[in-house]
Amino acid sequence: MDYGLSEDILSIRELCADIARRHIRPVREELDRENRFPHEVMKILADSDLLRIYIPEAYGGLGMGSLALCVAAEELSRACAGIATTYAANALGAMPVILFGSEDQKSRYLPVLASGEKLAAFALTEPDAGSDAGGIRTRAARHGDAYVLNGTKQWITNGGEAGVYTVIALTDPDRGARGASAFIVEDGTPGFSYGKKEDKMGIRASATRELIFEDCSVPAANLIAREGMGFMVAMKTLDNSRPGVAAQAVGIAQGALDEALAYAAQRKQFGQRIDSFQGIQFMLADMATSIEAARALAYSAARMIDSGAKRFEKEAAMAKVFASDVAMRVTTDAVQILGGYGYMKDYPVEKMMRDAKITQIYEGTNQIQRSVIAAALIREAASREK
């Protein structure tokens, strides 16, 4: 199905499917087992211009927008969510610069991210600030023409591999979330180092690492927007990225359904293929229907962003929460269809089930997404009553 996608976006999907078939599927088990970053695959993605998709044309990108990024993330996730997470996190790290960066910042950083010369990462989460994004403790104090950062960020995707980080830190702690600001910090900056690399349950081909700032001096020119806008930068970034997480979840679910269909067609019990059993057929039908619904929500939210809609946080949250719940349910059902084989690492559905779980957690837990949706509904209802 083409889902009304343009020829250019369909070409992106075909390119990602080809790369997945030739370069990702053959190594995904090894990368997962060894918890190894996919340097070779990321170079292939960069050489194929897939890192340019979401970068504006004025800065070396293709300017294709959110829907194209979602389609790419979905197709890559269909093969390996860990590699797709590395890919999508690059867009996440670039998004604050795209949305709020100065002309100088965009000119300095977006071309190198578009080419793949450097990767990006987004650093918001801390040991005591996850769903409560306003609870960050990392400080940034102004000293002349620089800001000095002190603090720790936790569970940062692409941590230790990225060359460019967008970091949220407090410039005015007395104002709470309104005292947060956003900064661009480059790898190699004195006082910036890396801590523990996490040994994760899923998406193990991606790097998740602690960032440590100890009297890390960052040029004042690397402040994104202005002081006090960090929380807004972070929230708008996450609103823009959540359809991508939804698309990733759709890709994981689709990959699991593909495996379940293939297995059910060749596995025999009681003298016949198990896809002839109504119980299995109903499971497959429900899996496919849920995936299509999740895909429609993800694409719809992405199209809203590309249309220039002023508010889309409700739709982005709906897409993320629904698609990630679908991914968890579909991968669990795929393991069930494969039975004992599904529980073994020899078959990819075991990995897909582990990978799916994180989509319910990162970039805002599904409980937070439901709060976002409810708040938007209440606001809209109140507006209609006026």
Q: How far apart are CA 87 and CA 77, in angstroms?
A: 10
The two tokens of residue 341 are: 């084989």
Tell me which amino acid residue 38 is.
Answer: P
For residue 329, give the nearest of 280, 367, 281, 291 by alpha carbon: 291
Tell me which amino acid residue 304 is.
Answer: M
What residues are paired with 213 via a beta bridge? 151, 192
Of the candidates 7, 363, 380, 385, the residue annotated as catalytic is 363
Backbone φ, ψ for residue 132 (5° rounding): -85, 75
User: What 8-state DSSP symbol labels residue 117?
Assistant: S
Answer yes or no: 363 catalytic: yes
Q: How many CA atoms lie within 13 A of 204 on its CB side?
A: 19
Q: How far apart are CA 90 and CA 87, in angstroms?
A: 5
Q: How far apart are CA 342 and CA 332, in angstroms?
A: 9
Taken in order 70, 9, 77, 327, the sign of the CA dihedral is positive
- Estimate to the nearest angstrom the gap between the alpha carbon of 184 and the chain centroid: 19
Q: Per 3-state DSSP, what percentage of the chain is helix, strand, and coil (rounded to 5)?
A: 60, 15, 25
Element (H, E) at 185: strand 180-186
What residues are paired with 230 via a beta bridge? none
Residues designated catalytic:
363
